[in-house]
């Protein structure tokens, strides 16, 4: 965790480096190992017009570090903004979970949030039509808990093997190096289960008005375990206290050209103005029997659980009240993983979640290195006491002289049997195999309900947004889009077909 800065001489209204006070003295400049620098501008040369000497250690230090400034960008969620804040429990949920940070009304836990676009690269605009990442890191007394969600309650696919493919079609064509509607719609029309997410993405909710005016969701169903070991299935909902606001397609497109960092700037400026954004956390709670017998598979991330069947239960609220001091150190190096779960919170058997438990932690090993958890933004407040040692860029004492193995005869560290693991005992029964989710009528029920839930003007926006993008594809792909929409709602499909014929 990165604490608030101390003893920083800065104007109260200064939001960037260029607005720092001009009368402060930050001391003499040094190289990367603290040696004072004599001259920052002029290299060491043979005479005023001669070649530069290799012995100019500071020049080599500066250039070699410059050559390595960039780290690999995230494959997904490459561009985003973040802020520090706190989470406060407002309602008792100790009967549902033994998680320490949720066990007392009024308890506050420091946290960090990062919002992002999902499939686009670092240089893309904030207002592109795309899902938004909604990642939260809670610095609890039992270690870091990461909730790595999105601004939509569902996702494109329910099998993790499809994750790479659904992202690939939202990247760039391998020949033209441009976004390809043909590639996008070719894939998704061959995977009709994705249309629940696609209808959200091509509605006005696909272009939220910045990060402050959108909800967040776990999307997946998780498990909560209480002190007695009883399990409940839970979906997490983070509802914006600022109210939901979306951008029209035209406004979003305009901002992409005039203010490509619109969402990042909006979040940063609001916090600087002390207009601290907040979200209220709710649970949807099912017993094990209710989850097993529900009309939809609660482990299928392409489906929602009806709030009429299982109403939202308020839990707490998080507030973002502090901007990062350094974007790279705090936002770019923040590492979120669904596998970062504290006692009392456990993963369900949701297939996509199971794949993400591995994939997110693994990508940080590639992007940031094996010791990324030691970076201040990722380090827990309760400390680390582990036999995991060494690797590139160790920070701290690396465990000192203490034994790097277990068991040992020298005082530990040792396991704590009193800690409630995810689930120490539960029954699994089945034949190992590759079981297919077969597409059926049930997969079109929720997209159909979503379309009918939209107001007439929102339905028209959805029709126009779809037709505008699909019109850029081959005729046979356009026919396939309409064929899938026919299975959702015949009138809806007809309206899209009519809009396509006018394109």
Which residues does 153 contact at the CB level (< 8 Å), separation at least 6?
217, 219, 235, 237, 304
- CA dist 167 and 170 (Å) reads 5
65 is catalytic: no
R_g (Cα) of the chain, nearest Å: 25
Q: How many CB atoms lie within 10 A of CB 221?
A: 24
pLDDT value at residue 12: 43
**CA 378/CA 395 separation, integer angstroms:** 12
Q: How many residues does the structure list for the chain?
A: 503
pLDDT of residue 412: 80
Cα 194 to Cα 202: distance, rounded to the nearest angstrom? 12
Tell me if 153 sits within 8 A of 110, measured CB to CB: no
**What span, in angstroms and rounded, lies between the C-alpha atoms of 32 and 439?**
58
3-state SS assignment for residue 422: coil
Q: How far apart are CA 86 and CA 111, in angstroms?
A: 5
Return the closest-CA partner of residue 488 out of 443, 440, 448, 437. 448
Q: How far is CA 36 from CA 29, 39, 66, 440, in A?
A: 6, 9, 19, 70
CA angle, 79 as apex, 73 and 84 as ends, to 5°? 105
Q: Which of 77, 213, 237, 340 is the catalytic position?
A: 77
What own/partner pairs with CB < 8 Å and gap ≥ 24 does 478-482 have? 480/185, 480/189, 480/190, 481/185, 481/189
Q: Using the structure block, give the residue that is written with the tokens 């502090």.
A: 322
- φ, ψ of residue 127 in degrees (nearest 5): -100, 15
Q: What does the alpha-carbon distance between residue 72 and residue 332 come to, in Å, rounded to a whole number?
A: 10
DSSP strand pairing (278-287 vs 231-240): antiparallel
Write out the chain's pLDDT in tens, 503 residues: 888 877 554 444 556 655 677 788 888 989 888 888 889 899 999 999 999 999 998 898 888 888 888 889 999 999 999 999 999 999 999 999 999 999 999 999 999 999 999 998 999 999 999 999 999 999 999 999 999 999 999 999 999 999 999 999 999 999 999 999 999 999 999 999 999 999 999 999 999 999 999 999 999 999 999 999 899 999 999 999 999 999 999 999 999 999 999 999 999 999 999 999 999 999 999 999 999 999 999 999 999 999 999 999 999 999 999 999 999 999 999 999 999 999 999 999 999 999 999 999 999 999 999 999 999 999 999 989 888 899 998 998 999 999 888 899 998 888 888 776 656 567 778 999 988 899 999 999 999 999 999 999 999 999 999 999 999 999 999 999 999 999 999 999 999 999 999 98
- Rounded to 10 deg, the angle between the 195-202 and 442-453 helix axes is 20
Is-above-0.85 flag for pTM? yes
Active-site residue (options: 144, 150, 371, 378)? 150
Distance CA 118, CA 303 (A): 19
Q: Is 77 a catalytic site residue?
A: yes
Report the pLDDT value the prediction gives residue 421, as an integer from 0 to 100. 63
CA angle, 391 as apex, 64 and 412 as ends, to 5°?
Answer: 150
Rounded Cα distance, 263 and 115, in Å = 9
* DSSP string covering 429-482: ----S-------THHHHHHHHHHHHS-HHHHHHHHHHHHHHHTTS-HHHHHHHH
> 255 by DSSP, 3-state: which?
helix
- DSSP character for 375? S
Alpha helices in 93-246 (DSSP H): 163-168, 181-189, 195-202
What are the phi and psi torsion angles at 236 (to 5°)? Answer: -100, 130
Q: Which residues partner with 108 through β-bridges?
A: 88
């Amino acid at each position: 965790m990165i604490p608030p800065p101390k003893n920083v001489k800065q104007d109260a209204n200064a939001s960037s480096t260029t607005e720092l006070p001009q009368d402060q003295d930050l001391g003499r400049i040094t190289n990367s190992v603290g040696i004072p620098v004599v001259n920052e501008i002029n290299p060491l040369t043979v005479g005023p017009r001669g070649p530069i000497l290799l012995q100019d250690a500071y020049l080599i230090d500066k250039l070699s570090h410059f050559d390595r400034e960039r780290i690999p960008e995230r494959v997904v969620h490459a561009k985003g903004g973040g802020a520090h804040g706190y989470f406060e429990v407002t309602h008792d949920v100790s009967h549902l979970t033994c998680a320490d940070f949720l066990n007392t009304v009024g308890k506050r836990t420091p946290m960090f949030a990062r919002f992002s676009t999902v499939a686009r690269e670092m240089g893309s605009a904030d207002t592109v039509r795309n899902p938004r990442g909604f990642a939260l890191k809670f610095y609890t007394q039992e270690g870091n808990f990461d909730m790595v969600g999105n601004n939509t309650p569902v996702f494109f696919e329910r099998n993790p093997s499809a994750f790479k493919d659904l992202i690939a079609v939202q990247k760039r064509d391998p020949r033209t190096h441009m976004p390809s509607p043909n590639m996008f719609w070719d894939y998704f029309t061959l995977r009709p289960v994705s249309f629940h997410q696609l209808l959200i993405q091509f509605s006005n909710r696909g272009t939220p008005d910045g990060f402050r005016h959108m909800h967040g969701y776990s999307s997946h169903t998780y498990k909560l375990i209480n002190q007695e070991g009883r399990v409940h299935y839970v979906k997490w909902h983070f509802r914006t206290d600022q109210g939901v606001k979306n951008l029209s397609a035209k406004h979003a497109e305009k901002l992409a050209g005039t203010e490509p960092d619109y969402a990042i700037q909006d979040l940063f400026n609001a916090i600087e103005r002390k207009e601290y954004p907040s979200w209220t956390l709710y649970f949807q709670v099912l017993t094990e029997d209710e989850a097993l017998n529900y009309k939809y598979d609660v482990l299928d991330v392409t489906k929602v659980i009806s709030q009429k069947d299982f109403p939202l239960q308020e839990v707490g609220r998080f507030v973002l009240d502090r901007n990062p001091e350094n974007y790279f150190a705090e936002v770019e190096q923040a590492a979120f993983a669904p596998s970062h779960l504290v006692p009392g919170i456990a993963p369900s058997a949701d297939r996509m979640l199971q794949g993400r438990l591995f994939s997110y932690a693994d990508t940080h090993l590639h992007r940031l290195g094996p010791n990324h958890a030691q970076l201040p933004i990722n380090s827990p407040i309760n400390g680390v006491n582990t036999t995991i040692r060494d690797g590139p860029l160790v920070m701290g004492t690396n465990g000192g002289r203490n034994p790097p193995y277990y068991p040992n005869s020298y005082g530990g560290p040792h396991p704590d049997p009193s800690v409630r693991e995810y689930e120490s005992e539960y029954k699994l029964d089945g034949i190992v195999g590759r079981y297919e989710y077969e597409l059926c009528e049930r997969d079109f029920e929720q997209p159909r309900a979503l379309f009918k839930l939209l107001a007439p003007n929102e339905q028209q926006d959805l029709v126009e947004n779809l037709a505008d993008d699909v019109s850029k594809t081959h005729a046979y792909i356009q026919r396939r889009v309409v064929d899938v929409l026919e299975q959702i709602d015949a009138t809806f499909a007809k309206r899209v077909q009519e809009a396509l014929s006018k394109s």
